[in-house]
């Protein structure tokens, strides 16, 4: 779901054909070349009809927000057999989604100027049960949910961006309860993660803002750190920010004075933390999606623990997402790849 600000000089002809045009695009099968792997296995690659925008994996299912051109979709894929993913349900979306978060039995999807709340208790038949719309001039960038609250990044024309908090205890009638302005113009791939009592807002290639949300009616900014990252995750006292040149381990134990304690070089588009490992979506020289696993048990000494190529091509600025549960990782661009990490 993150938009990589990198113009690749090497574009596969097939990727140009696949990604050209708008609308729902059916991507052709990719060449069956053996992936290059280290301490990992590539198990499967499920083709998507759109580019992957965001991903959340829980309860034996992958919940994917996807979109191309002006077409969007919400997809539910059964991954109980990691070697043979099967789509069980889907829901068309009125626009391309920009963010997704799952907290069963609901999935929360940021689409254009609205938050959609979808009941996924039956993965074969997802249905929208609630919606909160902002003014037409507004755009949503991302959503993160810790019931009873949803945290949204909102940008309105002629106004500063803001972190908006909604009460979603009643999913049919979400209610706004508080917000804080941000001194930036939030764009489509800005991110928010919540690690109470703080929310972390990433303006890609720019800054990480730390917001105290202990009082959801009156959130306030308490820190800011300049970092050229595309995605961020928080674990314990560290924020891990991944970007086009590196992954940074940032000590945020004092939110007023964050500081980098470790750096790991690479070209990364997305990150997910699973225990003592960071799973990073990266790309090969020919723009093929790949995964890199980094041991973060010592944030001051970040070490590579695994690597594996996958399926899915990236042309121009691509969109992508990654998630990890147990020994498995899921993600990609045009395909939902499934990898197994052998180093746990």
pLDDT in tens, 124-151: 999 999 999 998 788 999 999 999 999 9
Q: Which segment of 17-26, 94-103, 331-340 scores lowest on mean pLDDT?
A: 17-26
Residues 263/277, Cβ–Cβ less than 8 Å: no
3-state secondary structure 31-82: CCCCCCEECEEEEEEEECCCEEEEEEEECCEEEEEEEECCEEEEEEEECCCC
Share of the chain above pLDDT 90, in %: 70
Give the per-residue pLDDT at 319: 47
Given this structure, which CATH class describes domain 2-341?
mainly beta
Residue with tokens 């020994």: 327
pTM of the model: 0.88
- For the four alpha carbons of 196, 108, 320 and 335, in that order, the dihedral sign comes to positive
Give the per-residue pLDDT at 50: 86
Read off the tokens for 15.
Answer: 């990727």
- Whether the predicted pLDDT of 51 surpasses 80: yes
Domain-wise residue ranges, the chain:
2-341
Give the per-residue pLDDT at 240: 98
Q: Which helix (H) or strand (E) holds 18?
A: helix 13-19
Higher-confidence position of 146 and 15: 146
Give the per-residue pLDDT at 17: 37
pLDDT in tens, 101-123: 999 999 999 999 999 999 999 99
């Amino acid at each position: 779901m993150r938009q990589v600000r990198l113009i690749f000089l090497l574009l596969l002809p097939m990727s140009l054909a696949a990604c050209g045009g708008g609308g729902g695009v059916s991507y052709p099968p990719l060449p069956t070349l053996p992936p290059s792997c280290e301490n990992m296995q590539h198990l499967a690659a499920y083709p998507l009809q759109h580019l992957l925008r965001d991903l959340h994996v829980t309860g034996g299912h992958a919940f994917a927000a996807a979109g191309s051109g002006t077409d969007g979709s919400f997809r539910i894929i059964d991954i109980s057999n990691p070697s043979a993913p099967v789509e069980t349900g889907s829901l068309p979306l009125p626009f391309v989604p920009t963010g997704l978060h799952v907290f069963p039995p609901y999935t929360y999807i940021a689409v254009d100027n609205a938050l959609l709340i979808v009941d996924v208790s039956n993965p074969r038949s997802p249905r929208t049960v609630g919606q909160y719309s902002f003014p037409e001039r507004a755009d949503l960038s991302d959503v993160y949910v810790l019931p009873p609250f949803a945290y949204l990044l909102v940008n309105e024309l002629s106004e500063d961006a803001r972190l908006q908090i909604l009460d979603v205890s009643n999913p049919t009638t979400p209610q706004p309860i508080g917000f804080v302005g941000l001194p930036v113009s939030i764009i489509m791939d800005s991110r928010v993660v919540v690690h109470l009592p703080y929310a972390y807002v990433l303006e890609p290639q720019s800054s990480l803002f730390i917001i105290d949300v202990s009082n959801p009616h009156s959130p306030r900014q308490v820190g800011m750190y300049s970092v050229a990252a595309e995605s961020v995750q928080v674990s314990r006292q560290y924020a891990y920010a991944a970007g086009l040149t590196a992954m940074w381990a940032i000590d945020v134990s004092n939110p007023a004075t964050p500081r980098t304690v470790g750096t790991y070089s690479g070209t990364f588009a997305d990150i997910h933390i699973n225990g003592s490992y960071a799973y990073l979506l990266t790309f090969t020289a020919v723009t093929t999606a790949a995964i890199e696993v980094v041991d973060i048990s010592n944030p001051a000494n970040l070490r590579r623990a695994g690597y594996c190529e996958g399926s899915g091509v990236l042309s121009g600025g691509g969109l992508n997402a990654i998630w990890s549960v147990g020994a498995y990782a899921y993600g990609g661009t045009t395909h939902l790849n499934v990898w197994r990490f052998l180093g746990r």
